[in-house]
Structure 1
Amino acid sequence: MQYEPGLSRAELIEFATKTYFGNVDAKNMDATLACFHDEALFCVQTSFTRHAGKAEIKRMFEDFFGAYETIIHRDFTCTVDEANGRIAASFVAELTDADGNVTLLNNTNFWRMRDGKFQEVYVYMSGENVLV
């Protein structure tokens, strides 16, 4: 199903890289979840992991936020389909645990928007899945 586009190219990039990842990096659960529709689908394609609905997505983020002292998403390269409300971004995820161990991942996310929020998220992760 195709949804009506609602955000401009600049707004899609801002939403994905600043609003969404900015709140993930700040471990701001309420603002992170506000980026998703109630029935959103979040899939990590490289590990066949699926989280359906906000409750499952929240549980995934609770575990993710608890596993790392710092979370940084950086070096974004975005491709935007403004006419269809879709965006893809390749980026580096830099994760530091409580012992100071750093995990670097080179990931790509694909987002499908509906009414200014994520309806579907597909993640391709270069290493072990940290979003279980």
Structure 2
Amino acid sequence: MQYEPTLGREELIHFATKQYFGNVDAKNMEATLDCFHDEALFCVQTDFTRHSGMTEIRRMFEDFFGAYETIIHRDFVCTVDEANGRISACFVAELHDADGQVTLLNNTNFWRFRPSSEESGQGPKFQEVYVYMSGANVLT
């Protein structure tokens, strides 16, 4: 189903790179989850992994945040489909664990937005996220 777009180009880029990844990097669970609709779908395509709905997405982020001391997403190159409310980004994920090991991944994400209901007073959120990782899946 296609949803009516409500965000412009710069708003889509800001939502994906600053609002979403900024909160992921800060390990701010509630603000990260606030980027998703309750029935959102989060897929790691390169590992055939699906997380459906807020409970599964929360558990995925709890595990991810617990596995790394420092999480950095950087060097974004975004492609925006403003007319359809979609965005993709290629980026580097730099992950530091408690033992000082560093994992570098070159990833690409594809996001599809869905407007929130007018009653909620909230803006659009992710309905679907598709992730392609260059290495082992860190979002199990």
Normalised by the length of structure 1, the TM-score is 1.00
- The residue type equivalent to 2:16 in the other structure is A
**Map of 1:127 onto structure 2:** 135
Aligned to 1:48: 48
**Distance in 2, Cα, partners of 1:10 & 1:79:** 11
Partner of 2:60: 60
Secondary structure of the 1:23 match is helix
Q: Tell whether 2:81 aligns with 1:81.
A: yes
Q: Secondary structure at the match of 2:6?
A: coil
- Distance in 2 of aligned mates of 1:92 and 1:99: 21
- Structure 1 stretches (4+) deviating beyond 2 angstroms? none
Count of equivalent residues: 132
Amino acid at match of 1:123: V
Provide the rounded CA distance (Å) in 2 between the counterparts of 1:54 and 1:4.
23
Give the counterpart letter for 1:41 in structure 2. Answer: L
Could you report, residue by residue, the CA deviation over 1:26-50 in whole angstroms, capped at 9, with x for unpaired residues?
0000000000000000000000000
Cα distance in structure 2, aligned partners of 1:84 and 1:30: 27
- Cα distance in structure 1, aligned partners of 2:56 and 2:87: 23
Aligned AA (1:118): F
Distance 2:68 2:76 in 1: 21
Q: Tell me by how many angstroms 1:57 deviates.
A: 0.1
CA distance in 2, matches of 1:126, 1:77: 16
Shift of 1:17: 0.1
Aligned to 1:33: 33
CA drift of 1:24 comes to 0.1
Q: Report the CA distance between 1:60 and its aligned residue.
A: 0.1
Q: TM-score, normalised by structure 2?
A: 0.94
Q: Which runs of 5+ in 1 are unaligned?
A: none
C-alpha deviation, 1:55, in angstroms: 0.5
Cα distance in 1 for residues equivalent to 2:71 and 2:96:
7
Return the alpha-carbon distance in structure 1 between the equivalents of residues 127 and 133 of structure 2.
Answer: 20
Q: CA RMSD in A?
A: 0.2
Aligned residues: percent identity? 83
Structure 2 residue ranges without an equivalent (≥5): 116-123
